[in-house]
Amino acid sequence: MHRVTLYSRPGCHLCDDARAVVLAVRDRHGFAFEEIDITQDDVLLRDYAIRIPVVAVDGQERFEIEVDAQRLGELVRV
């Protein structure tokens, strides 16, 4: 099963949009989903602060700022 990770922070409207896209794609294709709040880790905050939301698929960063639903679907198809 594929794993999708969303790096986000509270109050980020782009993160809310990305989450909605990821969850809609998960409803169609099924995959493990994890959301990580970058404000809880100084290293993540340093690495992602101006790039969020960032979405990784199976540990590889695939999207930054905006998530393309069609492309995400292609990446997680079994």
pLDDT confidence of residue 4: 98
pLDDT confidence of residue 78: 64
pLDDT confidence of residue 75: 97
Which residues, including other chains, have CB under 8 Å from residue 19's CB and lie 6 or more apart?
6, 8, 35, 53
In the chain the domains, ranked by start, together with CATH numbers, are 3-76 (3.40.30.10)
What's this model's pTM, rounded to 2 decimal places?
0.94
pLDDT confidence of residue 5: 98
pLDDT confidence of residue 23: 98
Please name every residue paired with 57 in a beta bridge, in sequence order, or none if there are none.
4, 60
Residue ranges in the chain whose pLDDT is less than 70: 78
